[in-house]
Structures are given as C-alpha cells and as structure tokens.
C-alpha cells in the first residue's frame, strides 16, 4: 500500500453524489464469527444499512445495497436456519419503505441498484424494484450457477437478483481505471462522481462504492462488509472457526488474504483523512446547524437529538434503536467526527462503523 494516498482533485463544475442512509432492518451477530479473538458471548445488533445516491447534475438515483427483506420465509432453507439459530433479524422497515417515506418511489425513481455482494442481509427483495437494473460483481455468477431451490443446500436463491435481463454482471474489462490505492475501479458515470471498486475477499463478486459528496473535494466510501467490526480497522484479525484438527469449518471471508489486502487499502483512506483531510467537528454547533437547516429537516428525528445533543454527547441509558437512528443521520450528513466520538465513548457502538469511511480533502 502506498504511504500517502491521494484522490483526484475536482474538475471545474465537478459532478458529485448526494448520499442518504436508508434503514433496512437489523441483525444480531455473534462477533466471534467475524473478529478473531472475540469472546463467544459477545454479540452486536447492527443495522443492515443501504444508501441512496443521487447524481448532482442529472438527478439519476441509485441504491447501494438493499438490506434485509421482511419475509424471511422466502430465503433459502439454509439461510432461514442461520437466522433462526445464529443471527436473528428484525425488519420493521425495509429499504423500499425507507425510500417511500422519503418521497422516492422504488418502482419508478431508481434506475440502478448496486449490490455489494449476495449475502442475505444485503440483497433485500429485488421484486420491490421491478424497473431497476441490478449491478453486481462478475464473481457472483459462480454463486448463482447452482442456486436454491434447484440446489436445496445453496444459500443463494435464484431470484435474489432479477432473471429477466435486468442484472448486469461487471466484467474485468469494466474495472479499467485506478483510483487512490485501488487498482481496479469503474468510473460508473464517466465523470468522476462515483467509482465501483473491486473488493474481492469477503465473497465472490464483492464490490464497494467510492463517491464524491461535494464539488470541492468531499468523498464517501461504502464498504458493504469490507470488515465487520471497528476493531478490524485497528489491527483485529478476520476470524475463522476451526475444528479440533485445525481445519477451517466456517469463515466469513472466502479469500482471507485478499480481504486483508483490500481492508488495508480502505485503511489508507482513513489515514488520508487523519493526515490531510478536514472534517466537521463533533460539537454542538454542527448539530445545531443541522437542527436549524430546513433542507435537512427530513433527516432529523427527536431520537437523534435525544441520543446526541450538544457537544457533551450525553447518553444516560443507551437505546440501540435511538443511537442507530442518530448514527445514520450523522453518516448521511457527513458528520463523521460526531460518530467517531460516540464510538470512542461507547464501545457497544463499534460495529456500526463497518459500512463506510467519510473523508474530506483539504483545499487551499
């Protein structure tokens, strides 16, 4: 990995993406299945987040990941068992609901859905997006060669993505550019506003998104399970379960070496932020500005201001649901410093950082 990572400077009249976080259910995960050395008793309730991205010039909307679906009985049998025995889920509001509540019609307003990978907590319900083109990594073909139900032991349903010609598998030729420390990237709109990143390691076909969030140098990185716990950003290893003979019986990472290489590249973005990026401070002024800005009123809820208020950031009896809402609002508005303060103060929140790294470059 390079010692100093740079991203392209904005051009004149640079296009960018506005980003909003979308609720897509919650999943209760045993941390030890992902983080090496975590106690077997440690569990985290994490949001199955998705993101709405809107192009600043054309208004084109796309959704990155679809979270969980409400009807878990439509999952493959092996996934239903996994939910029942290992990772319980709760879906009060899916991504389609979230869009509708925000005034966006998933049937008519979303021409593209990008799925980071085909795990059950990211694919949502494709049938709720009947006119969208689905974009997935080319490696996903391998997972769909013998899908459920024709293979009753498969964890990938034949209908997890559309089968009517609306699914586009990205090929090697699509990843024809480099950006930062990422050697394989796809400039989706061909204007430097959004890059799809080849993120091989967690699952075949894994992809991420790196997008500009302002015309002057803001960026957001959407990692979609690049790691599963903040401690993996700080040196914690990827876990694999082994039997008494030392043989791997379960690993959440199909290529653990590649997953580590990719995570190191993402860590470079965090280093870039620390070394040469300016971000909004986690203080009361930033939150009061949010509260007073009518353009952001649709993103604000009483739960947010109850969970995070003024620079003291007091949480007397943390309510995970309220804090989850607060973090999603902070992420969507770029207030990463506020969220980072919470992560440091309340270790229970560490798993919420797995989805993205927000960075803003300094410009003189």
Which string of DSSP letters, residue by residue, matches 294-319? Answer: GGGGGG--HHHHHHS-TTTT--SS--
75 burial via Cβ count (<10 Å: 0-12, 13-18, 19+): buried
Whole-angstrom CA distances from 44 to 27, 30, 147, 153, 163 are 8, 7, 30, 27, 35
Cα-Cα end-to-end distance for the chain: 27
In the prediction, which pLDDT does 1 show?
A: 43
284 burial via Cβ count (<10 Å: 0-12, 13-18, 19+): middle
Report the percentage of the chain scoring pLDDT > 90.
47
Residue 230 pLDDT greater than 50, yes or no:
yes
Range with top average pLDDT, 45-54, 297-306, 325-334? 45-54
The enclosing domain of 135 has a CATH number of 3.60.15.10
- List the beta bridge partners of residue 177: 185
Q: Is residue 31 situated within a structural domain?
A: yes
Q: Is residue 292 situated within a structural domain?
A: no
Q: Which of 129, 169, 120 is nearest to 148 (CA)?
A: 120
CB atoms within 10 A of CB 13: 9
Residue 257 pLDDT greater than 80, yes or no:
yes
Residue 76 pLDDT greater than 60, yes or no:
yes
Q: Is residue 314 situated within a structural domain?
A: no
Contact of 199 with 208, CB cutoff 8 Å:
yes
Higher-confidence residue of 206 and 361: namely 206
Q: What are phi and psi of 84, to 5 degrees?
A: -70, -40
Contact of 307 with 323, CB cutoff 8 Å:
yes
Residues spanned by the domain of 252: 17-279
Residue 105 pLDDT greater than 70, yes or no:
yes
Residue 202 pLDDT greater than 60, yes or no:
yes
pLDDT band at 179 (very low <50, low <70, confident <90, very high): very high
- Mean pLDDT, rounded, for 255-259: 91
Helix (H) or strand (E) holding 230: helix 230-233
Instruction: Cite the beta strand spans of the chain per DSSP E.
Output: 17-22, 26-30, 43-47, 50-55, 61-64, 89-90, 112-114, 133-137, 167-170, 177-179, 182-187, 194-198, 207-212, 218-222, 240-242, 248-251, 356-360
Structure tokens at 32: 């030890």
Q: Report the residue count for the chain.
A: 364
Q: Is residue 233 situated within a structural domain?
A: yes
Residue by residue, DSSP assigns 140-178 as HHHHTSS-BTTSTT-SSBTTSS-SSS-EEEEPGGG--EE
Q: Is residue 95 situated within a structural domain?
A: yes
Q: What is the DSSP letter of 236?
A: P
As a whole number of angstroms, the distance between CA 323 and CA 333 comes to: 15
Q: Is residue 296 situated within a structural domain?
A: no
Write down the mean pLDDT value for the chain. 78
Tens digits of residue pLDDT in 27-65 = 898 988 888 888 888 888 888 888 899 999 999 999 999
pLDDT band at 236 (very low <50, low <70, confident <90, very high): confident
Q: Which of 231, 230, 256 is nearest to 242 (CA)?
A: 256
Report the percentage of the chain scoring pLDDT > 70.
73
Q: How many domains does the chain have?
A: 1
Q: Is residue 251 situated within a structural domain?
A: yes
Structure tokens at 358: 């927000």
In the prediction, which pLDDT does 336 show?
A: 53
Q: Is residue 327 situated within a structural domain?
A: no
Output helix, strand, coil percentages for the chain, rounded to the nearest 5.
Answer: 30, 25, 45
pLDDT band at 335 (very low <50, low <70, confident <90, very high): low
Contact of 30 with 39, CB cutoff 8 Å:
no
């Amino acid at each position: 990995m390079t010692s100093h990572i740079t991203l392209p400077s904005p051009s004149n009249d640079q296009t960018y993406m506005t980003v909003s976080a979308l609720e897509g259910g919650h999943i209760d995960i045993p941390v030890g299945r992902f983080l090496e050395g975590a106690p077997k008793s440690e569990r985290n309730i994490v949001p199955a987040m998705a993101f709405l991205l809107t192009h600043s010039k054309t208004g084109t909307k796309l959704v990155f990941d679809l979270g969980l679906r409400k009807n878990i009985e439509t999952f493959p049998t092996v996934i239903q068992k996994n939910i029942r025995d290992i990772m319980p889920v709760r879906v009060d509001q899916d991504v389609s609901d979230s869009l509708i509540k925000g005034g966006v019609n998933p049937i008519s307003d979303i021409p593209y859905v990008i799925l980071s990978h085909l795990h059950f907590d990211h694919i949502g319900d494709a049938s709720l997006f009947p006119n969208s083109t689905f974009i997935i990594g080319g490696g996903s073909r391998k997972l769909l060669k013998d899908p459920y139900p024709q293979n009753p032991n498969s964890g990938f349903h034949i209908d997890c993505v559309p089968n009517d010609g609306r699914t586009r598998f990205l090929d090697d030729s699509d990843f024809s550019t480099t950006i930062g420390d990422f050697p394989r990237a796809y400039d989706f709109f061909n204007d430097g506003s959004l890059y799809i990143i080849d993120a091989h390691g967690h699952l075949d076909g894994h992809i991420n998104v790196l997008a500009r969030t302002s015309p002057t140098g803001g960026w957001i990185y959407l990692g979609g399970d690049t790691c599963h716990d903040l401690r993996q950003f700080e040196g914690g290893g990827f876990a694999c379960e082994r039997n008494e003979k030392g043989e791997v019986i379960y690993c959440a990472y199909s290529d653990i070496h590649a997953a580590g290489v990719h995570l190191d590249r993402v860590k470079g973005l965090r280093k870039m932020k620390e070394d040469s990026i300016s971000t909004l401070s986690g203080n009361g002024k930033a939150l009061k500005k949010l509260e007073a800005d009518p353009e952001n009123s649709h993103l604000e809820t009483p739960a947010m201001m109850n969970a995070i208020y003024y620079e003291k950031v007091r949480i007397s009896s943390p309510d995970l649901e309220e804090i989850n809402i607060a973090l999603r609002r902070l992420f969507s508005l770029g207030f990463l410093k506020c969220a980072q303060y919470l992560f440091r103060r309340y270790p229970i929140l560490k798993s919420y950082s797995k989805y993205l790294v927000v960075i803003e470059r300094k410009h003189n």
